[in-house]
Amino acid sequence: MDSSMMELIAKSKVPALTRAVAILDIISRQGQCNANQLVSELGMPKSTVYLLLEELKNQRLVTQSNSGNYRLGFRLLELGSQVSRQLDLRNVALPHLKALMHDTGLVLDVYD
């Protein structure tokens, strides 16, 4: 486990959640991986990784293939789509578009 992750876990008021998010981050980066790869990369006890993976599976945040590899679960897609529905993309993009206008001297129109 790298020092930044150890520091995050040490500072966390809910270390188990921080560890679970670290697992999701690794699976996200690799696309899929097995438990041994997670144990190796995180430096956590195997039992901890398996307990976290089991709960992540129960919550549909990860799925496990027949070959034993873990992938991100559909629940993350469901949660992400909720974020996109709540996001006002126009308000998020507007400051960046104004900066682009300023930098390029071009005129941009943003419509509702």
Task: Output the tens digit of pLDDT for each of the chain's 112 residues.
Answer: 667 777 888 888 999 999 999 999 999 999 999 999 999 999 899 999 999 999 999 999 999 999 999 999 999 999 998 888 888 878 888 889 889 989 999 888 776 6
Whether pTM exceeds 0.85: no
Contacts of 49 (CB under 8 A, 6+ apart): 23, 35, 38, 39, 42
Distance of alpha carbon 68 from alpha carbon 110, whole angstroms: 48
Distance of alpha carbon 14 from alpha carbon 66, whole angstroms: 31
Distance of alpha carbon 103 from alpha carbon 83, whole angstroms: 30
